[in-house]
Amino acid sequence: MAGVAAVVLVLVGLPLLLWYWRAVIMPHSYPPGTKVITLTAVAKDGIWTEDQVVGHNYWRGKPTRIEEIPLTQGDHVVMRLKSADVLHSFAIPLLHVGPVDVPAGHTVDVAFDASRAGALTFLCWTVCSPQHESLRGTFQVKGNDKAGGDASW
């Protein structure tokens, strides 16, 4: 009887503990006002997406390509990066962020400040598939007079 109770506790308790960690603990581990963006790289489609891509929908689903992400100058941003299939890497060349490896099945956090207004290209730095060149997008950083800085690159 104790064995059955232990198995039930693990099968029910572990998912609840993981949910609590992701829903309650993790969002509060960043400074107040942090903009948290979760992106998943998918090599077969050559896209970054905000959609959740997991085993059951990898081949059937058609995730939505994210090409442009709006930010405001001065935003502190944490990118929660995932890979649905192969090793990817994330970089924002103009801010000298990365490249940061994103192994398949893992989540990697990358923090940066949107310190300048304008367009910031983000991309996959590791050749991952024939669609590798499509794995890019843009942060459109809207100017903010309070943040200071130059709008030109």
- In tens, the pLDDT along 1-10 reads 888 877 777 7
Average pLDDT rounded to a whole number, residues 36-52: 84
DSSP secondary structure of 77-127: EEEEEEESSS-EEEEEGGGTEEEEEE-TT-EEEEEEE--S-EEEEEEE-S-
Give the CATH number for residue 56: 2.60.40.420
pLDDT at 70: 93
**More confident site: 93 or 135:** 93
Do 24 and 57 reside in the same domain of the chain?
A: no
Claim to verify: residue 56 and residue 2 sit in the same structural domain? no
Q: Which domain holds residue 60?
A: 33-142
Which segment of 52-56, 68-72, 149-153 scores lowest on mean pLDDT? Answer: 149-153
Query: Is the same domain home to 45 and 100?
Result: yes
pTM above 0.85, yes or no: no
> Domains in the chain: how many in total?
2
The identity of residue 79, as a single letter, is M
Are residues 153 and 115 in contact, defined by beta-carbon separation less than 8 angstroms?
no
C-beta atoms surrounding 142 within 10 Å:
12
Same domain, 19 and 87: no
> Is residue 50, in this structure, part of any structural domain at all?
yes
Query: Does 103 lie in the same domain as 39?
Result: yes
Q: 24-28, 46-50, 105-109, 146-150: which has the minimum mean pLDDT?
A: 146-150
Q: How far apart are alpha carbons 121 and 68 in whole angstroms?
A: 9
